[in-house]
Structure formats: structure tokens, C-alpha cells
Amino acid sequence: MIYKATHNIFMYGFFKLYCIWKIRHNFHEVYIKGDFRDKNLPVLLVSNHISWWDGFWAMYLNLKFLKRRFYFMMLENQLRNFMFFNKTGGYSIKKGSKSIIETLNYTIRLLSDNKNMVLLFPQGRIQSIYNSTFRFEKGLEYLLNKITRKVHLIFLVCLIDYFSHSRPCLFLYFKEYLENDCSSPNIEKEYNMFYAQCIAENSAITTL
């Protein structure tokens, strides 16, 4: 049995406003680079997982560009401790449990609605921002094999740098995966290449 997401009209509305306020309050500037041509399809957002902030950053991108109803997985024990998130699009996954298949099938159902977006961290755990190679777990492959309709598959890379500021600058790089090969190894390879490009672009910045 999993905790399925709800979108309480008041809590979800508050969460969106809180997300914008919290990012503006804690970051010197937010830079977003990418291109999105909306074809009225559901969105599967594949992102690196570097911190507690990741969901807020993905929501910020969604509010600015993707404009979908926001859903995201959370570990079951964490969701139980913060059930507020269940009313803002969070649903549970329990590693090592048979309920993982239920969670993935629920994700597939969410991606049958053009108005929805699902945030996925395919590496399955938080990793250092300095990690340069990602190994995706089997969940993404299961989803891609089972999804029977077209979706926007979008890569997101989140990076931070301080430069000369007391608060960090936030960089959100995103691109849509448009190749025909939707095998998990190829998507993993393409994501790693995109991540390397984003790191190189950030490294070339001298000041802001």
C-alpha cells in the first residue's frame, strides 16, 4: 500500500508561493537556461539529486516554464514525517519492498494525464554536486518500458556557485530528450553528457 498524492487547493497554492519566496530569499540570483516547446504532453523530469532543495528547484522550474500539476516521489518514512508534502503532490516509495511496483505503476498513471509532471531522481539517492557520473536505478527503465504514450522527457541539472556573493547563485539547466532510443542505458549516457556540458559551462563563468 502506498501513499498516493493529493493536491489540497490551499496547501498546494501555499506551497507554490512558499517555493518562490524561499528561493528568492535564500539565493542571490536564479539563472535558468533551456528550451521547452510545449506539445501538450505530460512531463517526466529527470534530475540530479544533490540536496534537500531539489524539489523546490524543480517546482520553481515548473512554475516558470513547464506549468504542470507537480508530483514527486518521497521515501515512505520521510513522507510519513512530513505529510504536508502528500497534499502538495508527494507520494511514497519504499525501497526493498514489493510496493515499489505499485509506486511505479501509479507514476505511469500520473503520466497518462497531459496536465501532470512527475519529478524523478533516477540515481535513487542524494549524491555530491561534485559527482560527475550517474548510474540510474531500474525504476526509470521500468517506466520507459511500460509507458504507452508520448511524454516530454526532460533533463534537469541543478548547480550552485557563490562567486563574490554571500548567498549562492542557482543555475537550472534543462533540455528535452528527443532521441528515438529510449533505453535506460542511452538515456543515462545522454544525461551524463548533458551534466558534463553544464559543469563546463558553469566552470567557464568568471563572475556574476
Q: Does residue 146 sit within a domain?
A: yes
Kind of pairing between the strands at 69-75 and 152-161: unpaired
pLDDT digits (tens, 9 = 90+) for 93-118: 988 778 899 999 999 999 999 999 99
pLDDT of residue 96: 74
Interval 35-57: pLDDT, tens: 889 999 999 999 999 998 999 99
DSSP 173-199: EEEE---S---HHHHHHHHHHHHHHHH
Contact 208, 160 (CB under 8 A): no
Could you tell me the three cell numbers for 25? Answer: 530569499
**Does residue 152 lie in a domain region?**
yes
Residue 174 lies in a domain: yes
Q: What is the CATH number of the domain that holds 14?
A: 3.40.1130.10
Residue 208 pLDDT class (50, 70, 90 cuts): confident
208 in any annotated domain = no
Contact 100, 10 (CB under 8 A): no
Counted domains in the chain: 1
Residue 93 has φ and ψ, to the nearest 5°, of -135, 140
Max CA pair span of the chain? 50
What range does the domain containing 171 cover? 9-203
Which residue type is seen at 8?
N
Position 206 pLDDT exceeds 70: no
In a domain, 1, yes or no: no
Higher per-residue pLDDT: 82 or 62: 62
- DSSP single-letter state for residue 63: I
Q: What is the pLDDT of residues 156-200, one digit of tens each?
A: 999 999 999 999 999 999 999 998 888 888 999 999 999 999 999
pLDDT of residue 149: 85
CA angle at residue 141 from 115 to 44, to 5 degrees?
A: 20
In a domain, 2, yes or no: no
For residue 86, the model assigns a pLDDT of: 92
Average pLDDT of the chain?
92
Higher pLDDT, residue 131 or 117: 117
Radius of gyration of the chain (CA): 17
Residue 51 is assigned to a structural domain of this protein: yes
What average pLDDT does the segment 20-30 reach? 96
Provide, rounded to the nearest whole percent, the portion of the chain with pLDDT above 70: 99
Residue 3 lies in a domain: no
